[in-house]
Structure 1
Amino acid sequence: MGFSSIPWILIFQGMMASVIATLVTRKLSTNPESISLPLPPGPKPWPFIGCLYQVLRYKPTFRWIQKVMDEMNAEIACIPICGVHVIPVTSPELAREFLKKQDTIFSNRPICMSAEIGCGGYLTTLLAPLGDHYKKMKRIVVSSVLSTAKHHWLHNKRIEEADHIVSYVYNQCKDSANGGLVNLRIAARHYCGNVVRRMFFNKRFFGKGMEDGSK
């Protein structure tokens, strides 16, 4: 048994030596004159996986992040997950800094084959990398799709669907079969789906609706 364990000891020693050599090489190759800016505060991460364990354990994740930030009394935090730094922000001023003043830096996206195939060669605004095409598409979206005029133009369609969902809830309350109970999840699904279909296709249902106002 002693002789059979010798190769494993040698393998383990070789692995440890390679790890130490890699760390020493990285330490020596680092430029001492380079200044690394500090990251925002955050929870203490695990080696290699970061805070992946906490993210998977505490659900919903956004409530855990909010709790961590409240405990640290911070409006910005850094949560490392497998080498990726997730930066949540709760301050409106910092969010405005990211989305408006520093938009050029934070709106850039990595170039990957799946995104290129999914959007037909980066023809959409959502997955397009930063460049002239993205700036043109963003200008069109802001000025035409998400403009105030477009919002007012679709106001009547949203009002129609709001009246319809009120009628649907009223019919559900009068229904004695289910005791007058209203499933808010189903009602919200009806309203959201009807608004989208009304704005895109000018139809509430693709088929014939039921008497109570549902599909």
Structure 2
Amino acid sequence: MLDSSSLLAFILGSLIVALMMKRKEPKKNELVTSYTRNLRLPPGPKPWPLIGNLPQILRRNRPVFRWIHSLMEELNTDIACIPLANTHVIPVTSPRIAREILKKQDSIFATRPLTMGTEYCSRGYLTIAVEPQGEQWKKMRRVVASHVTSQKSFKWTLEKRTEEADNLVRYINNLSRKMLFGVRHFGKGSEDGFGPGFEEIEYVDSLFTVVTHIYAFALSDYVPWLRFLDLEGHEKVVSGAMRNISKYNDSFVDQRLKKWRNGKMKKPRDFLDMFILAKDTNGKPALSDEEIKAQVTRPPGSHVIRLTSQPTATRSTYQ
């Protein structure tokens, strides 16, 4: 087996042989002209003949981006030029210069670099994601714009996006509940322990029902004496949903309060404990039991906007 020194020598030797081979001359209409060749390059480390600064990277300077940052700090520059064989790497740390490159000179710098990884992942540069500018890139952009990202295709995939948005909301609520109550689900959850059970579905459905109706139009909000009529039926819906939410939240809060008051808990482990332990300036509990229950009625994350065409829909989050 080759040791590291022999391997390095082999790599460098191969590069030198490859670079000495005759290369195709650039065409007249290419961006590289005699004028640009005579312009001064940004500052950079002193390169080796033919192989540039490859030895510094291959030997010890990993990860490469940290070496580049430290090099630019040593040179006290916002733009540098690091020759790597026949390629000039131009790192930039100045927002002003970056805007110049990406906006004003984007026609020159917008193309993607050719690498081993991009060649493999694009099956020989057939995809728009990493394809350098050229006829293939133009073709793929036309196809994607007219068939994939069109208004028609977005309508076709609405149901799929809604389904995955609901899945995302489910896990966000799991995270919120874990932070607030220290549990993932109300009840046992699904058989695999990750999905919702009946209790979870009922709770989250009720939660979204309340959120949907918080600022929904109701005539009694503007003419209070009509409230007893409940003309839109909102009060009946919201009060029923709140009963479901309180059924889970209140019992959980009562059990936790009992543990703290009986001395069975000593250290806080979630946000609920922090609400319980909050003290006023006199050292007394800052929140009453009802205030604590009100705080946890709408856990963090329950306000997530659902990605549907009907923001006020009340169908089950987990259908």
TM-score (norm 2): 0.32
> Could you say which structure has the greater relative contact order, defined with CA pairs below 8 angstroms and 6 or more residues apart?
2
Structure that is richer in helix per residue: 1
